Amino acid sequence: MAVISYIQAVTQALKEEMQRDEKVFVLGEDVGKRGGVFRATDGLYDEFGEERVLDTPLAESAIAGVGIGAAMYGMRPVAEMQFADFIMPAVNQIISEAAKIRYRSNNDWNAPITIRAPYGGGVHGALYHSQSVEAIFANQPGLKIVMPSTPYDVKGLLKASIRDNDPVLFFEHKRAYRLIKGEVPEEDYTLPIGKADVKREGADITVITYGLCVHFALQAAEKLTEEGIDAHILDLRTVYPLDKEGIIEAASKTGKVLLVTEDNKEGGIISEVSAIISENCLFDLDAPVQRLAGPDVPSMPYAPTMEKHFMMNPDKVEKAMRDLAEF
């Protein structure tokens, strides 16, 4: 198996899906000739031409809305929001339209669009190039939200998102793009949307997280083995709708649960995970469910001191894991 980076997995998935199905096309700002500001669509313009790798006007609601229209017609658009922070003008199209088209038409119409966006901090991106925006969309039935952590998951889940007959928000951690590498098979494969994945088997404590934080937890877990702490790590992969069974199973296994996100603490994905655990696992728990998250300030500041204070890292996760193990 070849070892590729997280962003190469994005590019490969797009390229292979465009080769497989001519109804798949890409649209967004700078995705064409430039190949994307992060280079996620690198090479696609040359291979598929400007009609299928469409440089759009700078207008996010149109990128989403035009994509939704094409999807309703029967195309398979993959729309790119240049940064997740810039998805806000498209929220009406995503929540009022994409999420509700199947339901409101009583199954007559559907909108199989994939909307990709780089999210997350730790890249000196300041307030508007660092945000995690998943919680905004995570109480909107009709939407699916995928947030993969590894190149293998990126490729399999992006392909599954493009083939899915409902709208999918696909959030890619921008710091993971070049930082995270991993083995990816040569042959075509997809992974199931809506299924969490155990990234590490363990017996003492359970960490449930997603995105880049999965790697922080894995690094912390390795260190903690020296102290005799054996961590079980569940990667949510799909943050909406949540894999309730997978969460209950992972929480019940150790009875001590730490939930980690780099998003703000209150009202986030992990709060819902915590609610699922409290509804289902009371008699299996040996400690209060712990949440480790970003502070409840609007977003990540620019200056390195403040950015570091906000941003999740392996040390913060390690400390929280140790505290929980010692409870």
Partner 1 sequence: MAENRHKALGLSDEQVLDMFRTMLLARRIDERMWLLNRAGKIPFVISCQGQEAAQVGASYALDREKDYALPYYRDMGVVLSFGMTAKDLMLSGFAKAEDPNSGGRQMPGHFGQKENRIVTGSSPVTTQVPHAVGIALAGKMEKKDFVSFVTFGEGSSNQGDFHEGANFAGVHKLPVIFMVENNKYAISVPVSKQLACEKVSDRAIGYGMPGYTVDGNDPLAVYEAVKSAADRGRNGEGPTLIETVSYRLTPHSSDDDDRTYREREEVDEAKKKDSIVTFANYLREAGILTDEKEKEMNDEINKIVNEATDYAENAAYAEAESALNYVYEE
Active site residues: 129
Minimum distance between the CB of residue 258 and partner 1, rounded to whole angstroms? 31
Q: Does 281 bind partner 1 (CB under 8 A)?
A: no
Q: Does 141 bind partner 1 (CB under 8 A)?
A: yes
Q: Of these, 15, 144, 199, 253, which contacts partner 1 (CB under 8 A)?
A: 144
In the complex with partner 1, the residue whose CB is nearer, 79 or 236, is 79
Q: Of these, 37, 69, 244, 276, which contacts partner 1 (CB under 8 A)?
A: 69
In the complex with partner 1, the residue whose CB is nearer, 80 or 204, is 80
Instruction: Please give the angle made by the CA atoms of 241, 265 and 238, to the nearest 5 degrees.
Output: 20
Of 87-95, 260-268, 293-301, 309-317, the window that binds partner 1 (rule: CB under 8 A) is 87-95
Q: Determine contact, residues 131/225, Cβ cutoff 8 Å.
A: no
* Residue 193: Cβ within 10 Å count: 21
For residue 147, which of 181, 188, 119, 124 has the smallest C-alpha distance? 119
For residue 209, which of 257, 175, 253, 241 has the smallest C-alpha distance? 257
DSSP-derived secondary structure letter, 85: G
Q: Of these, 92, 139, 225, 278, which contacts partner 1 (CB under 8 A)?
A: 92
In the complex with partner 1, the residue whose CB is nearer, 47 or 286, is 47
Q: Determine contact, residues 177/206, Cβ cutoff 8 Å.
A: no
Q: Does 62 bind partner 1 (CB under 8 A)?
A: yes
Per the listing, tokens 């780099």 go with 262
Strand partners, 25: 77
What residues from 17 to 36 belong to the interface with partner 1 (CB under 8 A)? 25
Instruction: Please give the angle made by the CA atoms of 45, 48 and 53, to the nearest 5 degrees.
Output: 50
Q: How many CA atoms lie within 13 A of 47 on its CB side?
A: 16
Q: Of these, 41, 82, 93, 150, which contacts partner 1 (CB under 8 A)?
A: 93
Q: Does 89 bind partner 1 (CB under 8 A)?
A: yes
In the complex with partner 1, the residue whose CB is nearer, 171 or 240, is 240
In the complex with partner 1, the residue whose CB is nearer, 26 or 231, is 26
Per the listing, tokens 């498209």 go with 90
Q: Does 103 bind partner 1 (CB under 8 A)?
A: yes
Q: Determine contact, residues 16/159, Cβ cutoff 8 Å.
A: yes
- Interface with partner 1 by CB under 8 A: which residues? 25, 51-52, 56-57, 59, 61-62, 64-75, 77, 89, 92-93, 96-97, 100-110, 141-142, 144, 164-166
